[in-house]
Amino acid sequence: MSSSESERTALITGAASGIGQATAVRLARDGCSVAVNDLNEDSLDATLRILNGIGARALAAPGDITDSDQVASIYELCTAELNGVDILVNNAGVLTPNTFLEISEEEWDWVMDVSVKGTFLCTRAFIGDMATRGWGRIINMSSTAGKNVSTIGGAHYTTAKTAIIGITRAVANEFASLGVTVNAVCPGLFDTDMMRRTIDAEQAARYAQSFPISRLGQPEEVADLIAFLASDSASYVTGAAFDINGGDLMV
Ligand SMILES: NC(=O)c1ccc[n+]([C@@H]2O[C@H](COP(=O)([O-])OP(=O)(O)OC[C@H]3O[C@@H](n4cnc5c(N)ncnc54)[C@H](O)[C@@H]3O)[C@@H](O)[C@H]2O)c1
């Protein structure tokens, strides 16, 4: 039997900052026990401080999600400490703005691995237990780049975020009859460290003015959409990729 909404457990990858951090806080406020992943323990301090401050049950699950041994350790930790994961948010991703001919093989692999391989490895680790319990939610982080072309990232980023929509559909189709839903979210331009590392404030303001809702998105707004997809209310939603972009892309 599945647990009630207030007893659920969630793992959010790439939760040291930005959208991952906001999602961890939102799911914790909804009553989940949350495991937060990022590359190392130090990077997770800020998120853990916020979670502890709101009285959440929070667990640091550091590790590189592109490494199957480290993902296995994250799985063991979450299983031992949280008795498993009901909601997996495959959020971690990296971006560089390099043009196609500037992208090295190493950089291509890095961008693809964090988004696509990381989503594959984490999903593979946790989805079997979700299916056994007959309830699970997986939310994958795509982007407007996955449906159009990235505004600030290179071809590797657009390719990776398009692949995320593919893996979302394929896994959703295989696990739909087992009580596990799998969806993607496709944010436009959001005010996070990733964006600030890539473009300056003037460029960001120009992009913001070009959107029908003429501002950048805030991480908490994606977290709200993820929280809906993670809830019982979204039980008939699977294999979908949801735009959240201030009207920048209307399809
Ligand atoms: N900010 C935007 O405009 C925007 C738009 C669309 C999609 N996204 C996507 O949202 C997600 C979160 O991005 P953000 O804007 O919050 O950026 P961010 O840089 O603040 O967060 C990404 C996090 O992922 C972590 N990470 C990187 N490699 C990792 C690995 N191998 N293992 C574990 N963690 C790793 C980073 O350390 C970082 O904390 C990304 O997948 C990004 O592509 C962001």
Residue 105 is assigned to a structural domain of this protein: yes
For tokens 């398009």, name the residue. Answer: 162
Residue 249 is assigned to a structural domain of this protein: no
Alpha-helical runs (H) found in 63-154: 68-82, 105-112, 118-133
Residue 248 is assigned to a structural domain of this protein: no
Ligand 1 mutation pick, 11, 13, 19, max ligand atoms within 8 A of CB: 19
Residue 187 is assigned to a structural domain of this protein: yes
For the chain, percent of residues with pLDDT exceeding 70: 99
Residue 171: give its domain's CATH number. Answer: 3.40.50.720
Checking if the pLDDT of 5 tops 90, the result is no
Q: If you average pLDDT over residues 215-222, what whole number do you get?
A: 98
13 Cα–ligand 1 center, Å: 9
Q: Of ligand 1's atoms, which has the minimum distance to the CA of residue 222?
A: 10
Q: What are phi and psi of 45, to 5 degrees?
A: -55, -50
Instruction: For residue 226, give the nearest of 11, 7, 47 by alpha carbon.
Output: 11
Query: What are the catalytic residues?
Result: 157
Q: What is the average pLDDT score of the chain?
A: 97
The closest residue, in CA terms, to atom 16 on ligand 1 is 18
Contact yes or no for 173/129 (Cβ under 8 A): no
The pLDDT, as a whole number, for residue 4 is 79
The pLDDT, as a whole number, for residue 6 is 67
For the chain, percent of residues with pLDDT exceeding 90: 96
Residue 250 is assigned to a structural domain of this protein: no
Domain range for residue 179? 5-243
The pLDDT, as a whole number, for residue 1 is 41
Residue 116 is assigned to a structural domain of this protein: yes
Ligand 1 surroundings by CB, under 6 angstroms: 13-14, 16-20, 37-39, 43, 64-66, 91-95, 114, 118, 141, 143, 187, 189-190, 192-195
3 Cα–ligand 1 center, Å: 29
Question: What's the rounded Cα separation, in Å, for the pair 225 and 27?
Answer: 11
Q: If you average pLDDT over residues 194-205, what whole number do you get?
A: 97
Q: Of ligand 1's atoms, which has the minimum distance to the CA of residue 189?
A: 3
- If pLDDT is split at 50, 70 and 90, which confidence band does 42 have? very high
Residue 59 is assigned to a structural domain of this protein: yes
3-state helix, strand, coil in the chain (%, to 5): 55, 15, 35
* Domains contained in the chain, number: 1
Checking if the pLDDT of 13 tops 80, the result is yes
Residue 133 is assigned to a structural domain of this protein: yes
- If pLDDT is split at 50, 70 and 90, which confidence band does 2 have? low
Q: How does pLDDT run across 64-85, given as a tens digit for each residue?
A: 999 999 999 999 999 999 999 9
Q: If you average pLDDT over residues 217-244, what whole number do you get?
A: 98
